């Protein structure tokens, strides 16, 4: 029995994509306990956007611990919380002319989603929510109803509640306008789909296969929501924080959601989740959606440091530049392997390589691990290799990783 099997015999069996024990990490490189070095193209599913252990964060956390800053901030103002709110407003909201209130939720993305749908129901006095095919929003009972993949459902959970899954952009083929379909459903009283409280979506579907919504589709969806006073919720948990090139994934489409869910990368690896809510829909009573660990001070310290990446536009430019390197390398790979009918999708630094052959993307992920490159699969059949390197990865390491993918794929197919 190896060490990992021993560990696993002591805990509930868990999906183990990468059979080693990881130890430390620096920017885009993770070391296991034997000192083996892995290039990280997974980044904790979009949690490590700013790289592992950036110096300024380590320093700020060390200082905070040394000054005895750990105190519980549930219903208190703290200097760490105040610094984060100030920095977030100054760096993210004000320059984008966005007017949102921040609400810290329980520290997981799922809890932010739960709060968002509760608030939408409370504000609109409607219960139905529209989510999308291949969407992922978490696995607690409310969020699970929104998550499309049936793998996570079990009959014993009692089924999905008050959710309708509409076809995402492109789901019915490249020439079908799924917004027309959705508006007919909403406007036809005999459709069986009640007027929803909210429509919730990811602008790029992370777990569902790196499906990318177009600017036109998002803008039509936003107009549809306005027309029927439906709240628009953007779940930016996986593809916010610069993943698509700008801080928010929806910025490029010039839309302003009513609620935005943020988590994962906002705390740079420490647990933090929050909602941005338009001030006019903040109808919560005090303590109505609370939770012991909402707004953790250590996470605020890290998050405040990380927001400095957005002090000017050079970070965004570098993401787009590296995104182009990824895109052209993957396009070349699709050309070089025509028998695999690969499709390449993504934006900024979130990319997917769909390989229709059953099991191929998973075999590739395993083979990449053996070459010391970490990349997971996604999609409803795990048919997509997902590439999410830290946004701070050096171009040299990015190119090494992309070259490993190209040679490994060739080796697998010959």
Contact set with ligand PMP (CB under 6 A)? 45, 108-110, 113, 136-138, 202, 206-207, 235, 237-238, 263
What gap in Å lies between CA 115 and CA 104, rounded to an integer? 10
Taking the complex as a whole, the smallest distance from the CB of residue 306 to ligand PMP amounts, in Å, to 17
Query: Minimum Å distance from CB 266 to ligand PMP?
Result: 11
**Closest separation between CB of residue 283 and ligand PMP, Å?**
23
Reported in sequence order, the residue ranges of 202-249 that DSSP labels E, i.e. its strands, are: 204-205, 211-212, 231-235
How far, rounded to the nearest angstrom, does the alpha carbon of residue 412 sit from its chain's CA centroid?
A: 30
Length of the chain as a residue count? 414
Residue among 235 and 382 whose Cβ is closer to ligand PMP: 235
Rounded Cα–Cα distance for residues 336 and 207 (Å): 26
**Cβ proximity to ligand PMP, 260 vs 307, nearer residue:** 260
- Between 259 and 340, whose beta carbon lies closer to ligand PMP? 259
- Structure-token match 């499309």, residue found: 148
Give bridge partners of residue 262 from the DSSP assignment: 274
- Based on CB atoms, which residue is closest to ligand PMP, 49 or 329? 49
Give min distance, CB of 95 to ligand PMP, in A.
25
| Nearest distance in Å: CB 294, ligand PMP | 13
Q: Measured from the CB of residue 113, what is the shortest distance to ligand PMP in angstroms? A: 6
Sign of the C-alpha dihedral, residues 150, 156, 157, 163?
Answer: positive
In the bound complex, which residue of the shown chain has the CB atom lying closest to ligand PMP? Answer: 109
* Residue 260 or 333 with smaller CB distance to ligand PMP: 260
CA gap 8, 261 in Å, rounded: 33
Alpha-helix residue ranges (DSSP H) falling in 67-193: 79-88, 109-124, 141-146, 178-187
Query: Closest CB to ligand PMP among 204 and 360?
Result: 204
d(CA 130, CA 143): 12
């Amino acid at each position: 029995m190896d060490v990992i099997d021993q560990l696993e015999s002591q805990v509930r069996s868990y999906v183990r994509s990468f059979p080693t024990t990881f130890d430390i990490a620096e920017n885009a490189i993770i070391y296991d306990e034997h000192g083996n070095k892995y290039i990280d193209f997974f980044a904790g599913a979009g949690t490590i956007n700013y790289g592992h252990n950036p110096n300024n964060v380590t320093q700020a956390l060390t200082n905070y611990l040394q000054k005895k800053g750990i105190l519980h901030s549930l219903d208190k103002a703290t200097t760490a919380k105040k610094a984060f709110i100030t920095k977030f407003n100054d760096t993210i909201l004000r320059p984008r002319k966005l007017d949102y209130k921040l609400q810290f939720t329980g520290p997981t993305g799922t809890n932010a989603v739960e709060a968002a749908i509760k608030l939408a129901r409370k504000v609109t006095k409607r219960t139905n929510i529209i989510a999308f095919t291949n969407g992922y929003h978490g696995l607690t009972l409310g969020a699970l109803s929104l998550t499309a993949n049936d793998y996570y459902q079990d009959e014993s959970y009692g089924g999905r509640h008050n959710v309708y899954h509409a076809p995402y952009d492109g789901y019915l083929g490249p020439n079908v306008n799924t917004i027309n379909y959705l508006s007919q459903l909403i406007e036809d009283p005999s459709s069986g789909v009640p007027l929803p409280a909210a429509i919730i979506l990811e602008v790029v579907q992370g777990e569902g296969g790196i499906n990318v919504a177009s600017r036109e589709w998002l803008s039509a969806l936003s107009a549809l929501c306005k027309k029927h006073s439906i709240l628009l919720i953007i779940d930016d948990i996986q593809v916010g924080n610069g993943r698509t090139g700008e801080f928010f994934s929806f910025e490029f489409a010039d839309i302003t959601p009513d609620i935005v869910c943020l988590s994962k990368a906002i705390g740079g690896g420490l647990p933090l989740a929050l909602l941005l809510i338009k001030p006019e829909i903040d109808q919560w009573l005090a303590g109505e959606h609370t939770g012991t660990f909402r707004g953790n001070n250590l996470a605020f310290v890290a998050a405040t440091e990380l927001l400095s990446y957005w002090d000017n536009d050079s970070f965004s430019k570098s993401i787009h530049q590296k995104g182009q390197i990824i895109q052209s390398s993957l396009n070349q790979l699709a050309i070089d392997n025509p028998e695999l009918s690969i499709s390449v999708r993504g934006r900024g630094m979130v990319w997917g390589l769909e390989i229709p052959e059953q099991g191929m993307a998973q075999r590739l992920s395993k083979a990449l691990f053996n070459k010391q490159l970490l990349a997971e699969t996604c999609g409803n059949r795990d048919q997509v290799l997902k590439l999410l390197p830290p946004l701070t990865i050096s171009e040299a390491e990015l190119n090494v990783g992309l070259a490993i993918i190209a040679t490994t794929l060739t080796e697998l197919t010959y």
